[in-house]
Amino acid sequence: MIERRECVELRSLSGWSLVYGRRKVGKTYLVTRCVAHDSYYVVTRQMDVLKGDERLEMGKAIAQIAKELKAGKSVILDEFQRVPESLWDVLSAQHPNGKLMLLASSLGITRKVFDKNSSLLGLVLPYRMDVIHYSDALAHFGEPLIALLFRDPWVVTHVSSWADVSRNPQRFYYVVKGLIGEVFQEEERMFTQIYEAILVSVAEGEWNSSIIASRLQSTLSVNGSTVSSYLDSLYKMGLVKKIRVFRGGRGVEWYYTLSSPIMSAVLYAEAKHRISDNDQEVDLMRPIARELQFSVGELLAEKHGAQLAYSPKEDIDIVLLKHGKPIAGYELKIGEIEKAEAEKAIWKIRSAGIPKAGLVSLASKPPPSDESLTSEDLVEIARQIRKKWQK
């Protein structure tokens, strides 16, 4: 089992909570193992409720949960998005008795729970669970590319390397498409199509709302402001992440990329090769390199207590900011960095007004720079980060 910092964070939650996020990121696994509880209930697709081997009618189950809360017990209610809003009052009437942890996987649930008319508004606090932090995965697996692949915990039992995904991306595409569809199950079909099209565009490397809108407007009638609102919803659900674009202090712009490396890789394969129609081996080096860039950037930002940024104009792989100002930039390569490449990268970083220039290579020790890092150095950084949150 990968040691995840979320275990510590979940254990520290008090009162009533809504733990939400995309399916298969480990919500049920972590909550049931990390949080002391008296009862665990899960709502089925048939709209009844399971408690162990016992199958309960929905209304009866919610009444039973309310009774346990009144007695001061700790209860986990999984697949909460399936509970009708008409029954929420039965739960809210027991606040602040006991400890209630609601688990949910749909985009719409947060809107409903925190709507001004919701009976749970102000009673539960949100906690979003995403894919595994890169430093947690790297500290466990000890290999940068494997850690990148296994940031999505469901992948672990199906593959041993990225080569397995490249050989047969179609089977992973169907899983990813299903996971995305589950998030949008409450949305209208037209909205779902737009969300999915945006995710494919982002996976292909289209990184801001205006670029995505210009690509999709001919088929889906969307504009820049509409795409921005969709991207914001995808960000809030944890499907995409926002990385600040470094522009030398000239305004704020965001670079959007997918949160899940495996999702990014297979949606890229779908965009470029239509793997849904044609089962074929696909070269995934481009999306893998991009995802590695941002995951290693996340690791270094955590090490230095900085904000991760990217400079697409100057093509600086990793920029670290503190209080909006650059403190370091890095060139990252999966292969070796030759001396001439190193000199060019260092010049490029410093010419952008970034005071420190670093080099990262997974293949061998890079040439001298302000911070030259190997795979082994990255693993050691990850393990030092793990020690901090384990305390």
Q: What is the pLDDT of residue 189?
A: 59
Residues 264 and 171 in one domain: yes
Residues 122 and 156 in one domain: no
Q: What is the pLDDT of residue 113?
A: 96
| Peptide bond between residue 96 and the one before it cis (omega within 30 degrees of 0) | yes
Q: What is the pLDDT of residue 319?
A: 98
pLDDT-wise least confident of 127-141, 188-202, 319-333: 188-202
Q: What is the pLDDT of residue 118?
A: 97
How does DSSP classify residue 264? H
Q: Which residues pair with 244 in a beta bridge?
A: 254, 309
Q: What is the pLDDT of residue 95?
A: 98
Residues 302 and 352 in one domain: yes
Residues 319 and 257 in one domain: no
Q: How far is Cα of residue 86 from the mean position of the Cα atoms in its chain?
A: 31
Q: Is the separation of the CB atoms in 351 and 369 below 8 Å?
A: no
The boundaries of the domain holding residue 220 are 134-286
Residues 260 and 139 in one domain: yes
CA atoms within 13 A on the CB side of 306: 22
Residue 259: pLDDT band with limits 50, 70, 90: very high
pLDDT above 90: residue 247: no
Q: What is the pLDDT of residue 237?
A: 87
pLDDT above 70: residue 186: no
The pLDDT of 209-226, averaged and rounded, is: 80
Residues 340 and 226 in one domain: no
CA atoms within 13 A on the CB side of 59: 1
Q: What is the pLDDT of residue 274?
A: 94
* Cα→Cα distances 142→148, 360, 384, Å: 11, 16, 13
Q: What is the CA radius of gyration of the chain?
A: 22
* Per-residue model confidence as pLDDT tens digits over 31-50: 999 999 999 999 999 999 99
pLDDT above 90: residue 85: yes
Sign for the pseudo-dihedral over CA of 86, 21, 154, 387 = negative
Residues 276 and 322 in one domain: no
